[in-house]
Amino acid sequence: MTTEQNIAKSLDELKKSRKPYREAFKANRKKAGKMERLALWITEHVGSMKFFLIIFFWTVLWLSWNMLAPKAWRFDPFPAFVLWLFISNMIQLFLMPLIMIGQNLQSGIADARAEADYEINKQAELEIETILMHLEYQNKIILEILDDLKTKK
């Protein structure tokens, strides 16, 4: 088999093996159930600056009210803030498993994306090898043409 035939065969194989690229993130997100999507949504939003600021201002408002408001209006006495501690702990207890579930789902999505990237990289490597073979063949032909031109002069 000649080099030209090898290159033609490689190009045909490349064309046949070409798969449409899939978007791993969207595909895996669609497969997730309602509860898993809720866990992903909570994980994405709890890890945001917006959520931090909400919790921060809620805490500042709560503590300020219960330290500075008239004694009759205070509902969580200073310095213990028992109700504030209870509510904060409940938020943490409920968010912790949801965040872990969301992180596990995000990890699965990241793995699928990495797998898709690997497949694309393998395909690109085959294409690059074929292009290099084609360029080497063209280079060989050009050199042969130049040699023929030199000998004819």
Within 13 Å and on the Cβ side, how many CA atoms surround 4? 3
Domain of residue 134: give its range.
3-152
Sequence-distant (≥ 6) Cβ neighbours of residue 9 within 8 angstroms? 1
Per-position pLDDT tens, the chain of length 153: 676 777 777 767 767 776 666 665 566 666 778 888 888 888 888 888 999 999 999 999 999 999 999 999 999 988 889 999 999 999 999 989 888 888 888 898 889 889 989 988 988 898 898 889 889 999 999 999 999 988 887
* Residue 17 tokens, joined: 């093996």
Q: Helix (H, G, I), strand (E, B), or coil: what is residue 75?
A: coil
Sign of CA dihedral 9, 12, 17, 18: positive
Residue 106 is predicted with a pLDDT of 86
C-alpha triplet 49, 53, 57: angle, nearest 5°? 175
* Residue 136 tokens, joined: 């080497």
* Residue 22 tokens, joined: 């899939």
